[in-house]
Chains A and B, each alone.
Chain A
Amino acid sequence: EVQLVESGGGLVQPGGSLRLSCAASGFTFSSYEMNWVRQAPGKGLAWVSYITSGGGTIYYADSVKGRFTISRDNARNSLYLQMNSLRAEDTAIYYCARASRETSGYFPHYHYSYYMDVWGKGTTVTVSS
């Protein structure tokens, strides 16, 4: 069974740090790009960060750039999100999501894009004093 399990959430004071983990199973983790997506209480979904299968390309939402770091360990089938300088507005459920590739266009000008086909159940981060 394809599965993603997040952990590492909790209560942290503003300015503090937290490291989230996502354990993958049931598929070849090293072949897939991955994302973190968050959802503030009572709000919609917001993409946070993306990492390619080998870790060579990384993107962040502007709201977390410079404070959050995404990484992965393919030998451990794990994805991570290091969150520093946390703010109240970072309070949310954090989901990891597998990215599946879609190819469009024609050789040699292919366009690659990635939809999120498998999601974990999420881990809750609360930033409060």
Chain B
Amino acid sequence: EIVMTQSPATLSVSPGERATLSCRASQSFSSNLAWYQQKPGQAPRLLIYGASTRATDIPARFSGSGSGTEFTLTISSLQSEDFAVYYCQQYYNWPYTFGQGTKLEIK
């Protein structure tokens, strides 16, 4: 099983600033990596797939990068609606596994 580790657990950033979230995999794979956003009381929403492709209707301020074992989600200029929990997930091998999440909070 591929273990996904996200860091930091909590990230405090001011609106308008840049946020960088990290995700590390225990085994290397190419680009089968997705990022999801989850707000309190809501279902997860797909942001990024293929490590760097934005999903439909996702704003350009969200970008993903990385391959192998190191992946990054960058939010270039934080808006109030971006404060949420973010999960990475590998879909390279079964069982598909998620990171434990990074909570992005307002500083």
- By a beta-carbon cutoff of 8 Å, the part of chain A in contact with chain B is 35, 37, 44-47, 50, 59, 61-62, 95, 100, 102, 104, 113-122
Contacts and interface: CB of A to CB of B under 8 A. Distances in A.
A116 B94 contact: no
A62 B92 CA distance: 17
Interface of B: 30-32, 34, 36, 38, 42-46, 49-50, 55, 87, 89, 91-92, 94-101
Contacts of A122: 43
B43 A117 contact: no
Given A95-B43, A113-B91, A120-B43, A45 B36 contact: yes
A39 B19 CA distance: 25
A46 B100 CA distance: 9
B87 A44 contact: yes
A115 B101 contact: no
Nearest to A63: B95
Nearest to B55: A117
Nearest to B42: A121
A100 B55 CA distance: 11
A104 B30 contact: yes
A115 B91 contact: yes
A119 B97 CA distance: 16
A34 to B, nearest CB: 13
Contacts of A100: 49
Contact of B44 (A59, A62, A119): A119
Given A44-B98, A44-B99, A47-B96, 20 more contacts: A35-B96, A37-B44, A44-B87, A45-B87, A45-B98, A47-B95, A50-B94, A59-B94, A95-B43, A104-B31, A113-B91, A113-B92, A115-B34, A115-B89, A116-B91, A117-B46, A117-B49, A117-B55, A119-B46, A121-B42
Given A45-B89, A117-B55, A62 B46 contact: no
12 contacts: A44-B98, A44-B99, A47-B95, A47-B97, A102-B32, A102-B49, A104-B31, A113-B32, A115-B34, A115-B89, A117-B46, A119-B46
A102 B94 CA distance: 15
Contacts of B45: 119
